[in-house]
Chain A
Amino acid sequence: MTDETAGIELQNGRLGRVAVVRLRPNLDMVSGVEEAARQAGFSQAIVRSAVGSLVDACLEAGGRRSGYEGPGVEILSLTGEVGPGGAILRGTISTPAQTVHGGRFVRGENAICITLELVLQEWLPESPPE
């Protein structure tokens, strides 16, 4: 019988403080979320909620990038985390053409349009990452 738990990594910990954040227009969303976590003093954090819009969107799915033209691309859902390697954010968007798309938000390619309202929550591992 194969050991199906091989390779699974587990990290015990708990959720901590919450940061209430607004990113203003033209900031890159991925690096802006990282900077917000840094300002809050969170070395690890998860996205608890986010509502906002992008000038244009650039999403990666399965290694392929797709661009969606705005302005006014709505962020419908956002999930992800900020960790030692930076922010990894995935979610869904709607376009001015009323189509819905999803993927991982590409760093440096997703400028905030009007705003990003973001609720980040600190993750406090029992053993800090090395």
Chain B
Amino acid sequence: MRQMKQPGPVQSPRILTELCERTRDVFITLPAGADLLNGLRDAVLSLGGKGAGITLLGGRINRLHYFTGMPDPSGRRLATYGDPTPLEGPIELLSGNAIVGQDAEGRPLVHGHAVMAEVSGKVHGGHLPPGECPVGAGGVRALAVLHDGAVFAVREDRETNYSIFHPDRVTEAAE
């Protein structure tokens, strides 16, 4: 297994784990016209949730562009996203995962990757940007587990030189 040196100092612990005692399962149906990722975020917020793990069950997307990873030519980071790949719809969303958490200011943020097929059947996949994936006819279905007590929150990670999700306890005062 190839391991590669990151640009910053190694951080510890290597596995960050926070437990949530209270959970709630919700089926989400996003209607045509909703944005895929922002719609998932808003669905979780509408239930009073601060964090959720989401399984994309499928549906239709009108158009999108996605990103795949690549080595960072600047050397500032080990890997980065390449140029966006546009897909004209209708696009069939096949599967994927998304996580709802909070940005560095405590505002809701969603991060998602997905697999999708174009009309020819050719399969694509990558990182999907919020606000850029309008849901098509028939909608999109997803299963979410909402969790209290701990959420993903964006923090600067000196090791990778990215600001990314880390598990954070939610204090009672903030709940």
Contact = CB atoms under 8 A, between A and B. Distances in A.
Given A56-B2, A100-B125, A21 B17 contact: yes
A66 interface: no
B58 to A, nearest CB: 11
- Residue among B51, B52, B55 with most chain A CB within 10 A: B55
Given A94-B68, A100-B115, A119 B53 contact: yes
B21 A113 contact: no
A70 B113 contact: no
A15 B4 CA distance: 37
Nearest to B113: A76
A72 B14 contact: no
B54 interface: yes
Interface size class on chain B is 35 or more
Contacts of A50: 97
A119 B100 CA distance: 11
Main secondary structure of the interface of B (DSSP, over half): strand
A114 B145 contact: no
B33 interface: no
B62 interface: no
Contact of B69 (A18, A23, A40, A96): A96
Main secondary structure of the interface of A (DSSP, over half): strand
B141 interface: no
B100 to A, nearest CB: 9
- Residue among A20, A32, A96, A121 with most chain B CB within 10 A: A20
Given A22-B167, A51-B113, A72 B71 contact: yes
A117 B111 contact: yes
Interface size class on chain A is 35 or more
Contact of A20 (B77, B85, B151): B151
Contacts of A65: none
12 contacts: A21-B18, A40-B17, A51-B112, A74-B125, A77-B113, A78-B97, A93-B125, A94-B69, A108-B1, A114-B160, A115-B164, A119-B99
Interface of B: 1-4, 6, 11, 14-21, 23, 25, 51-56, 68-71, 77-80, 82, 85, 95-99, 111-115, 123-127, 145, 147, 150-152, 157, 159-160, 162, 164-167
Given A49-B52, A119-B53, 11 more contacts: A21-B15, A24-B14, A25-B3, A26-B3, A51-B111, A51-B112, A70-B71, A71-B79, A76-B96, A94-B126, A98-B82
Q: Which 7 pairs across A and B sit closest by C-beta, in order of nearness? A: A72-B69, A119-B53, A49-B53, A72-B79, A26-B3, A48-B53, A96-B70
